[in-house]
Amino acid sequence: MREIRELLVKKINELLENGTVDRVIGWKAGEFCYDVTPAVYKKEDNFDDFLFDGFCGANQSKYLIEETKKEGKILTLLKPCDSYSFNQLLKEHRIDREKVYVLGIPCHGMLDINKMKEQGITGILSITETDDVVTADTLYGEKTCNRKEVLLERCLCCKGSKHMVYDELLMPEEEEKEVETLDRFSKVAELEAMTAEERFAFWRTELSKCIRCNACRNVCPACSCRTCVFDNANSGVAAKVNADTFEENMFHIIRAWHVAGRCTDCGECSRVCPQNIPLHLLNRKFIKDMDEFYGEFQAGTDAETKGPLTAFTMEDCEPDIVYTRGGDK
Amino acid sequence: MNDVLIPKIGVVTDVRQDTPDVKTFRVVTPDGKKAFEHMPGQCAMLSIPGVGEAMFSITSSPTNTEFMEFSIKKCGCLTDWLHQMEVGQMITIRGPYGNPFPVDTELKGKNLIFIAGGIGLAPLRSVINYCRDKRSEYGNIDIVYGSRSADDLVDYQEIIDEWEKTEGVNVYLTIDREQEGWDGHVGFVPNYVKELNLSVDSTVLICGPPIMIKFTLAGLQELGFKKEQVYTTLELRMKCGVGKCGRCNVGSKYVCKDGPVFRFDQIDELPDEY
Amino acid sequence: MFKISMNEADKLFKAIAESDTLYLPIEKGDQIEFYEYHEGANVRLDALHTVKSAKDAFLPNCETMMEFKMEGKNIEIKEADRIAEEFVVFGVRACDARSFAILDKVYLSDPVDSFYAARREHGIVVSMACNRPEETCFCNKFDIDATNPEGDVVVWIVGDELFWEAKTEKGTALTEKVKSVLTDADSEPVEKQQKEVKAIMEKLPLNSMDMEYLKDADMMELFNSPKWNELYQSCLGCGTCTFICPTCQCYDIRDYDTGHGIVRYRCWDSCMYKDFTMMAHGTNRKTQMERFRQRFMHKLSYFPINNDGEFGCVGCGRCISKCPISMNITKVIKALGGDN
């Protein structure tokens, strides 16, 4: 990753110097090795704390909504999976394409610090990584773990090395690189195999943990409404916790409906959830169903194709599909 | 166990349409008494359960021993509902909240100038009537009041019938634009204040839209008034009313508890977030 | 001082739960929170932190305050009952234990919040000393001793033994109730552990943070710092930091129509939210920068001004591990000038 960072900084400086862009949105090193914050750098800024390593998981596409409203042109560094979100935002006319220069950057999978901590690696002072092993220097001595075991959920089901959109690629040779990936629908299938009661209990337990911090919504590239219905005081549905009611649980279900067909499965919702609610499973259930009903579709592959829920075809399934799939009549 | 957040029941006994979008509501407890005692400038939390609860300044004077009045402009969800109320409707009420205008200390014996714009008269009406009722305890009283149009002057009848007839009280009314049937002054409040030959030794109480306050204050300073002589009352979103919920926090102050009445030199010490 | 083997800890929990409701860190749905104890619960005293802090026990994230029956023009108010039975919050870390003192300054000051006061009166805090601080810890910056937390009873887990010491009258009373499962103990193992943990605390990376700077800082100078504009940039405006924070104290009051009446409840609120200060005619904090600044100014300047210099932070480090974009109070403190 260190080599990529050096190559990246060189390229960024080149694009800033030759006037292609006047700023870049990147990742800024934090207090520790893993608390990386998205940040905008200008030409005159010091790039010493500019970082690219295994903790740059944050999908930065959504920041471009506001950034492309500003003067000048911004450079965005998209990992292959981020490029899907970027396309989807283009499709929804949220990003001004003219005001952004896309540099596709390679990704070898991003790390989840919480998974490391769950393995008992705590008191982390610094981290070094190779392709297979993550080594942490901690207050309690040196600890190592298998890199694959501490990848972010979305990286386990990687969409591949190919960028869906770019103006330039940092390492074109990486585009065709094979990546290991698991079946992203396996957990969904497990849930589908449950009885309705079991499934209800599963989601009740999970969704009841929700503290309504709205991090999932605020980070979600598909949640780009100017004013969210849950923020509209007159809508009657509050964006606040109301723990004694079932309404609480509906928030996530409504949100999943709203992003269905537009969700690229970027997994940011699950990454940011302070309560570790597997929100991506709701989205994946929708994706799986839509794939089955309307044919396979991946949101964000391009910026033009209409999603299955916004395009009508004669082949679309009829509403009674719900009965044939085992719903109550 | 009693809690400040638990309201009392109030009954609306009179509704007066003051202007096209301002109504004045008279409120008592179900047994016909005042819900609680207050001082001029203090506020109360009114609510219609299921709709919302909000802070309103008490418009009536504490010298009124029978009821409380609230002049409320229709401008949002709760106020829309309040405006639909008829006599006999119950609401909830709790208070009083905040610090009053210092009517029994700093203002005593002083010449007073009241400057109000639009619904900004509501909190000042309580002080004006208090000072009128205790007329001998205060010096000259000048009231400058402006609104968009003659129809938007709140408490117009009371101003004409009572205020203008009180000895030592001068009322200066103005409206923003010429209007048929209006032979009074036309123009914005800040300009009118500068035209009037107001005595610089007076204490000023001002309330109105932020833009009016801003320009009037600048005008007053030009005339030689110091910020220490000028009081206003701030309005911010409030939920608890007792300095805990955090909503009206500006700098180290809570407007509900440390205000809403502030002197401008005190406001200067706060971050510009009000 | 008393002790009990960790293998038998369940006996202690049962003994407490027999007389009082017991809340302690329990793993459920993959997360650890203070939940009510029940037999077979997956108690996780080894966890450094629960997701929500222990303040949930005294200022729950959602509580009903009253109900209204509406009929025609009439309204009837029914107050919710205040808690009237003893309960025990077990396993509160030193940072969270200090947060109660901070919340007290708000909720027990005049006028007293009776809902909170009832919980404080009936709640018994069994705090738990830290034996494995993490890199995100900085409670020492607020003169909190992680090895000797505040509380009615303090417990230390040393090896496979749990040591117990009552610190207050409430604690002594609780000790009497559970004494039968405890045995007398010598404090030496505890003291030894305290020394070891203190040595680790000396090595914490956030020790480099300087709080002295903030103690003398001028409110308006901090408020007007150009740093806010850089710091807030990536803030998502979510409420994560607020809701996991042990000292964040702001709340919302909302009405909820159950179909059988109106429930008025109180819930945690966040100054990071757009609607926090929104009124019919607008808001006084229009930008995320202002909202972001408010949260940190409140903790680092406004609260200390009103409370004899005490900061509105206890250094638990939750915001460091939970912020979606890894912005947190330590970055703010350092950026404002507290970087040694």
Domain borders along chain B are: 8-97, 112-233
C288 pLDDT above the threshold of 60: yes
What's the domain count of chain C?
2
List chain B residues with pLDDT less than 70.
Answer: 1
The predicted model gives C279-285 an average pLDDT of 79
Q: What is the pLDDT of residue C339?
A: 64
Q: Which one is predicted more confidently, A102 or A248?
A: A102
Q: What is the pLDDT of residue A244?
A: 61
* Chain A hits for C340, Cβ within 8 Å: none
Nearest CA-CA distance, residue A62 and chain C, Å: 10
A310 pLDDT above the threshold of 90: no
- Does C179 share its domain with C223? no
Put simply, the answer to whether C205 touches A213 (Cβ < 8 Å) is no
Q: What is the pLDDT of residue C340?
A: 57
A327 pLDDT above the threshold of 70: no
- Cα–chain-centroid distance for residue B271? 23
Put simply, the answer to whether C243 touches A274 (Cβ < 8 Å) is yes
Q: What is the pLDDT of residue C174?
A: 96
Put simply, the answer to whether C255 touches B49 (Cβ < 8 Å) is yes
Nearest CA-CA distance, residue B71 and chain C, Å: 16
- Does C145 share its domain with C234? no
* Chain C hits for B254, Cβ within 8 Å: none
First-last CA distance in chain C: 40
Of B4, B79, B90, the CB nearest to C280: B79
- Does C191 share its domain with C295? no
A239 pLDDT above the threshold of 70: no
- Does C144 share its domain with C225? no
Put simply, the answer to whether C284 touches B274 (Cβ < 8 Å) is yes
Nearest CA-CA distance, residue C29 and chain A, Å: 6
Q: What is the pLDDT of residue A247?
A: 67
Tell me what the pLDDT averaged over chain A comes to. Answer: 90
Do residues B18 and B66 touch, judged by C-beta distance below 8 A? no
Nearest CA in chain C to B234: C284
Residue in C67, C207, C234 to test binding to A, most A beta-carbons within 10 Å: C234
* Chain C hits for A39, Cβ within 8 Å: 230, 233-234
Q: Is C78 exposed, middle or buried (0-12, 13-18, 19+ CB in 10 A)?
A: exposed
- Does C235 share its domain with C187? no
- Does C47 share its domain with C121? yes
Which of C155, C188, C206 marks a domain boundary?
C206
A298/A261 Cα distance (integer angstroms): 8
Tokens representing B250?
């500006």
Of C31, C326, C327, the CB nearest to A275: C31
Which of C189, C206, C223 marks a domain boundary?
C206
- Cα–chain-centroid distance for residue C58? 9
Nearest CA-CA distance, residue C313 and chain B, Å: 16
Look at domain B8-97 and name its CATH class.
mainly beta
For C11, the domain range is 2-206
Residue in A61, A65, A124, A241 to test binding to C, most C beta-carbons within 10 Å: A241
- Does C196 share its domain with C329? no
C281 pLDDT above the threshold of 80: no
The predicted model gives A213-240 an average pLDDT of 85
Q: With pLDDT > 90 as the criterion, what percentage of chain C qualifies?
A: 86
- Does C72 share its domain with C190? yes
- Residue C207 at interface with chain A, using a CB cutoff of 8 Å: no
Task: Output the pTM of the full model.
Answer: 0.92
Q: What is the pLDDT of residue A329?
A: 45
Quick one: which of B5, B20, B96 has its CA closest to B58? B96
A116/A124 Cα distance (integer angstroms): 10
B134/A314 Cα distance (integer angstroms): 83
- Does C158 share its domain with C275? no
Put simply, the answer to whether C243 touches A215 (Cβ < 8 Å) is no
- Does C227 share its domain with C250? yes
Do residues A122 and C204 touch, judged by C-beta distance below 8 A? no
* Chain C hits for B242, Cβ within 8 Å: 111
Nearest CA in chain C to B73: C280
Put simply, the answer to whether C324 touches A272 (Cβ < 8 Å) is yes
* Chain C hits for B75, Cβ within 8 Å: 280-281
A1 pLDDT above the threshold of 70: no
Contacts of C143 (CB under 8 A, 6+ apart): none
Q: What is the pLDDT of residue C260?
A: 87
- Does C246 share its domain with C299? yes
Which of C206, C240, C255 marks a domain boundary?
C206
Best CATH choice for the domain B112-233 from the list 3.40.605.10, 3.40.50.80, 3.30.420.270, 1.20.1560.10: 3.40.50.80
The predicted model gives C74-86 an average pLDDT of 93
A160/B48 Cα distance (integer angstroms): 56
- Does C202 share its domain with C228? no
Put simply, the answer to whether C279 touches B236 (Cβ < 8 Å) is yes
* Chain C hits for A272, Cβ within 8 Å: 236, 238, 240, 324
Same fold? B8-97, B112-233:
no
